[in-house]
Structure 1
Amino acid sequence: MTNRVFNADSVLVLALGYRFQWEPMQDCYVLLYPEGMVKLNPAAGEILKRISEKKQTVSELIAELKVAFDGADLDDDVYQFLEEAHGNDWIRAE
C-alpha cells in the first residue's frame, strides 16, 4: 500500500496566495503568486483547472479526467502530481 498525502475522499483547493489562469502570452495555464509565476505543462493545467473550478474529491477528479482522456489509466500519475503540487504548496486539502 502506498502512503499518499491525499486519499480518494480528499477535497482539494488552491493554496492561499495562488491564482490559476490561462496566460495567452505563454500559451499555457499558469499559477500566479506574489513572487512570480509557474508555467504549467498541459497535464498539470488540466488537473489544477478542475481543482480551481469546483469542489470535488480526488476520486471525482480522477473520474472526470478519465472521461476527458478516453478512460486512460491515470490514477498513479494524478496522485504523483498532487503530491508534487502539495510539496510546492500549490494545493491543500479542505
Structure 2
Amino acid sequence: MSLQPDTLLELSPLLRMQWEEAQQRYVILYPEGMIELNETAAAILELCDGQHNLTSIVDKLERKYDASGIEPDVREMLESALNNGWIREIIAY
C-alpha cells in the first residue's frame, strides 16, 4: 500500500504504544502480544496521532534530530506499519 504524503495517520485503535520498563523501550501492545520498537520507530509512531501526515512527521523529525533527507526511510517505516496494521490513514470526508 502506498502512503499519500498529505493523509493524516494514527495508531490503530486496536493497539497501544507505551514505554515498557522491563524492556527499557517503547512497545506496541496488542491482544495477542507485544512488539518491541527501536528508538527510531518509536519516534515516528509517536507522531501518528491523527494530527500528522508523512510530510509533517518528516519535518518534525528533521528538526528534532537536526537531520535531512530522511523522508525515504520514514516513508518505508510508515508503509510497513500501515501494511502490518499498526497505523491507519484517516480519510477526510
TM-score (norm 1): 0.88
**What SS class does the counterpart of residue 38 from structure 1 fall into?**
strand
- Structure 2 matches for 1:17-32, cutoff 5 A? 17-32=14-29
Look up the match of 1:47.
44
- Work out which of the residue numbers 62, 69, 85 in structure 2 matches 1:66: 62
Distance 1:35 1:79 in 2: 27
Q: Using the alignment, how far apart are the partners of 1:29 and 1:66 within structure 2?
A: 21
Amino acid at match of 1:42: E
Question: Which residue in the other structure is 2:3 paired with?
Answer: 6
Percentage identity across paired residues of the two chains: 36
Task: Tell me the amino acid that sits aligned with residue 28 of structure 1.
Answer: R
Q: Give the gaps of 5 or more residues in structure 1.
A: none
What is the total number of aligned residue pairs between the two structures? Answer: 90
Residue 73 of structure 2 aligns with an amino acid whose one-letter code is: D
Higher strand share: 2
Q: Which amino acid aligns with 2:26?
A: Y
SS of equivalent to 2:48: helix
* Runs of 4 or more consecutive aligned structure 1 residues displaced over 4 Å after TM superposition: none
Question: Is it true that 1:88 corresponds to 2:84 in the alignment?
Answer: yes
Instruction: Give the aligned partner of residue 76 of structure 1.
Output: 72
- Contiguous gaps of at least 5 residues in structure 2: none
